[in-house]
Structure 1
């Protein structure tokens, strides 16, 4: 018995072309190009000012293109070492504050999400409500508390303040993520004899890595760029972070726009590096739960 097979007609019109999940329409790039230029324009403007000399800016104004390029602005910003010391202070505060905040927040979120703690929802809402208070009404109380504790005008005081005011938000985010973890994972860990501490360290924290990376990037940006709490609990210039040092730099070089622009660019480099390093984890952390 002969089997008849049909071959596709070469003259048949092809069907619609399906895009792969990773492909994008060219119109996406056409639309995003103006937004990219708009976003990069201030950075390019500040960079051009930083690369100009003071005489060039004074003679031709800020809006003119540079007649010649120079690194005098960066040399002036880094000349006395105050900007470098301020960068070191900001790095110390940021590293310790981010590490302490995420460590405490992950432990608190794990306890609130996996154990039957009385009034745990109320506790979570109280922690989150602390972030809704305007910081301006807390400046004097925070300053007085730091003085009473004997930690005023120290980097430790700034670390404590940053941890205290960021802990509620970080706990709230991690609590929602940990509650979405499958219950079967914890049941399997319990059958294997893992206790609460082992489960938290070996299972929960690795699964929370995208959320922790996203929060680490956000916390680094917030803490490193903070000015209001630095001016509240610090007084000595040697203890100032980079934001307060830039404020003093603007006062000392009020007419030297190239020096101020150079200092601003130097201050922006660390947070930019952190964002680009954790970019993939940051995006994946923001998209966690979107496909559930």
Structure 2
């Protein structure tokens, strides 16, 4: 009788909560606060880029009013953004395309072929990312000054003051990282695909262009977004290797917005927003591929 009563006794619903239930709201609140703190300077710069300098000088930057669009027109004219945007395109587009293509070649060799110096080759390409650019400033500058090129490549007759030199140095510092990421990505591809391709008579070149590159499209798109952002925003090597102001990339336009005796911070903020727009557009256009490239394989065992 007792056993029957125990079996027929209605089961209680599990209690919600517990010792940790009161702290469930803590993590979302902390993440929200951290996000707001991180976004506050960016939002403040964005708002003040639409405000008049005289108004903010009188009422402070944390105030409301004095909105105008003159900062953007003045920044575009004073910074000569049209010329410098074109310079950034000339530098960024070839550097990104060549970096990704050469990285795919290196990664394919490392991932698909086994030989004695397999990992050493990858480490050699990755070594450029282990040294700070400042440590290589003098050797790279002297090397580029000693390498002679035709005058149609550079007015100086060397790699200094040329777009080619800046493209090469950006490629040298980015190929290692991209090859490392792509090699790990390619190693996860099924070997059965390549075995079937070999049986069908596909050459190594055909395997690379018709099998590997299409399957690596998400990873390549994710790296393309990162590379465009890094090379487009690069300022150090442009300052060192370029000697003429009409060849500087768009990031140098900010210097043209600074006065000798005072700086209109609202004008600088407007110029910064103008510079940031292309990278934001590229990110939102490739956002789906970027997220897919970062999360692919995250759920595999």
Identify the match of residue 111 of structure 1 among 106, 109, 112.
109
TM-score (norm 1): 0.85
Instruction: Give the Å deviation of 1:28.
Output: 7.8
Q: SS of the residue aligned with 1:173?
A: helix
Q: Which residue of 2 aligns with 1:261?
A: 269
TM-score (norm 2): 0.83
Q: Which residue of 2 aligns with 1:6?
A: none
Unaligned runs of 5+ in 2: 1-9, 16-23, 148-157
Unaligned runs of 5+ in 1: 1-10, 17-24
Q: Is the 8 A contact 2:222 2:294 kept in 1?
A: yes
Q: SS of the residue aligned with 1:181?
A: coil
Provide the C-alpha distance between the structure 2 equivalents of 1:54 and 1:165, rounded to a whole number of angstroms: 40
Q: Which residue of 2 aligns with 1:166?
A: 174
1:246-269 deviation per Cα after TM superposition (whole angstroms, max 9, x unaligned)? 133235684211111100000111
1:1-292 superposed matches below 5 A: 32-65=31-64, 67-80=65-78, 82-149=80-147, 150-251=158-259, 254-292=262-300
1:205-251 deviation per Cα after TM superposition (whole angstroms, max 9, x unaligned)? 11111111111111111111111111111111101111222133235
Instruction: Give the Å deviation of 1:169.
Output: 0.9
Q: Is the 8 A contact 1:162 1:223 kept in 2?
A: yes
Select between 252-261 and 48-57 the one with higher mean Cα deviation.
252-261
Q: SS of the residue aligned with 2:145?
A: helix
Q: CA RMSD in A?
A: 2.3
Provide the C-alpha distance between the structure 1 equivalents of 2:132 and 2:211, rounded to a whole number of angstroms: 37
Aligned CA distance change for structure 1 residues 96 and 254 (closer, same or farther; 3 Å) = farther
Instruction: Give the Å deviation of 1:48.
Output: 1.7
